[in-house]
Amino acid sequence: MIFLVLFLLAIIIIVANIKIVPQAEAYVVERLGAFHATWDVGLHFKIPFIEQVRKRVSLKEQVVDFAPQPVITKDNVTMQIDTVVYYQITDPKMYTYGVNHPMSAIENLTATTLRNIIGDLELDETLTSREIVNTKMRAILDEATDPWGIKINRVELKNILPPKEIRDAMEKQMKAERERREAILIAEGEKKSAILVAEGQKEAAILAAEAQKESAIKKAEGEAEAILKVQNATAEGIKMLNDAAPSQSVIAVKSLEALQVVADGKATKIIIPSEIQSLAGLAASLKGIVEEDNK
């Protein structure tokens, strides 16, 4: 019976000292109070009463959000700035034995570093230089926490809160800047509109002048063409008369016809050449003879 109890007790002790390390974790093991080994992922056996797991360490990246810290800028403005630190444990042994309360140490180190960096910047530089501050803080913290087995991956300034009176002044400044930009945009719009109207009027005047010019040219060309056609017709008529070789009688008759046209005008005196007068008398005699015959 005693043997059975001892056997069960041994089984319980053996099972209790079998350790399985999960993924992304590490166990720091001590033997008789001194560091012995760091167990990685897998199955391990701990010697009862001699070895013990000193610390279970997570190897995943972790995030810690520190409370806002009061900092003073170079131009003596007190601001509240809170930071977010992304870190990862790379050496479980150094993390276990390097420093007491690692998170408290990182928080104090972050606050000190932040005060040193912001103390060299003025208010405007602090508000516009977040990336520079983040980079400097990450480099300083990473170097300081390296002996603790901690790697600082990123540091971010979460909030920067200036005093209320400065925030009010900044809001007024931003409002004035927006109003200034709005006024500039309105003025530029009116300027462009006036320019477009003037250009439109200019183009309309140019087009009207060009149209008037084209009309005058077309009218002059039409008159010139009409005169040319009249001259051509007159020349063609003269040519046809010359080609027909008219007799002196025909010429006399045409002269009389022309004289009749002239007589239809408003002239009160008409000078008739003697040749035409004799032809006119001959024509009158011929007319009388024709009338006698008709009777």
pLDDT in tens, 102-161: 999 999 999 999 999 999 988 888 888 889 999 999 999 999 999 999 999 999 998 888
pLDDT in tens, 84-96: 999 999 999 999 9
Quick one: what percent of the chain has pLDDT higher than 70? 81
Which residue type does 254 have?
K
pLDDT in tens, 38-81: 999 999 999 988 999 999 999 999 999 998 989 999 988 889 99
Give the per-residue pLDDT at 254. 59
Tokens of 270: 């008409």
Give the per-residue pLDDT at 261. 53
Give the per-residue pLDDT at 38. 95
- What is residue 23's three-state secondary structure? coil
Do the beta carbons of residue 133 and residue 157 sit within 8 Å?
Answer: yes
Is pTM beyond 0.85 here?
Answer: no
Number of neighbours of residue 110 by Cβ within 10 angstroms: 23
Helix axes 248-263, 274-294, angle to 10 degrees: 100
Give the per-residue pLDDT at 289. 43
Measured in Å, how far apart are the chain's first and last C-alpha atoms? 189
What is the sign, positive or negative, of the torsion defined by CA atoms of 189, 190, 194, 200? positive
pLDDT in tens, 217-245: 888 888 888 888 878 877 776 677 666 66
Tokens of 116: 């040193």
